[in-house]
A and B are shown apart, each in its own frame.
Chain A
Amino acid sequence: AQSVSQHNHHVILSEAASLELGCNYSYGGTVNLFWYVQYPGQHLQLLLKYFSGDPLVKGIKGFEAEFIKSKFSFNLRKPSVQWSDTAEYFCAVSRIIQGAQKLVFGQGTRLTINP
């Protein structure tokens, strides 16, 4: 069965530290990849997405992610985090079934940034 694994359940960093959140998936076919963010008390928002082309994807708020096909990975990075990045981050993988999108989420990583 297709699955998405986020290795870190809770990450605590200080402001200005660099961030990398891991995401691995098990599906071997063509996939689309997403990172969503859920700020406290807010709805899920799209951070960035990969469909094809350059495997290094840039998203909003200085985030980027790299798709490494050979490793089935799509890790999220940010060179210097801010207190406002405190949120829960979800990696998601989609595939096309019967002409439409099926999305599978990882379990999420809670990121806490200390000022």
Chain B
Amino acid sequence: EAGVTQSPTHLIKTRGQQATLRCSPISGHTSVYWYQQALGLGLQFLLWYDEGEERNRGNFPPRFSGRQFPNYSSELNVNALELEDSALYLCASLSPPGYNQPQHFGDGTRLSIL
């Protein structure tokens, strides 16, 4: 079974630009979670998509947004990039109905803001 895949592996942007990160969940998984792993801050929950809808978001500004496609893959968009957005962005997927199941993580996209 293929795991959660994320692309690109590394993304380099400058302040003010926009970044798009992609995630493909494990086949059969319908929930996708996005996390930010910044140095010294651990994993911070960003967004959760299930069945194509945004179900919840963490304490991040609106310039962090995303969507989930009919095939359950997901995009994370970050607008007006700031230096502090530099981090590893992790995607995780979960099989339905989500009870008592562990999340499966991708390798992440490292976003560097110059």
Contacts and interface: CB of A to CB of B under 8 A. Distances in A.
Given A98-B55, A99-B98, A100-B97, A44 B41 contact: no
Interface residues of A, number: 24
Interface string B92-104: 1010011111111
B42 A108 contact: yes
A34 B43 CA distance: 14
Nearest to A108: B42
A82 interface: no
A51 interface: yes
Given A34-B102, A46-B102, A103 B33 contact: yes
A39 B94 CA distance: 21
B33 to A, nearest CB: 7
B108 interface: yes
B36 to A, nearest CB: 11
A104 B45 contact: yes
Contact of B42 (A32, A43, A101, A106): A106
Contact of B101 (A36, A101, A102, A105): A101
Nearest to B48: A102
B106 A51 contact: no
A97 B56 contact: yes
B82 interface: no
A101 B43 contact: no
B49 to A, nearest CB: 10
Interface in B14-70: 31, 33, 35, 40-45, 48, 50, 55-56
Given A32-B100, A43-B107, A100 B31 contact: yes
The list of the 5 closest CB pairs from A to B, nearest first, reads: A107-B42, A44-B105, A105-B43, A100-B98, A101-B98
Interface of A: 32, 34, 36, 42-46, 49, 51, 90, 96-108
21 contacts: A32-B100, A36-B105, A43-B90, A43-B107, A44-B90, A49-B102, A90-B43, A97-B55, A99-B97, A100-B31, A100-B48, A100-B55, A101-B94, A101-B101, A101-B103, A102-B45, A103-B33, A104-B45, A105-B42, A105-B43, A107-B41
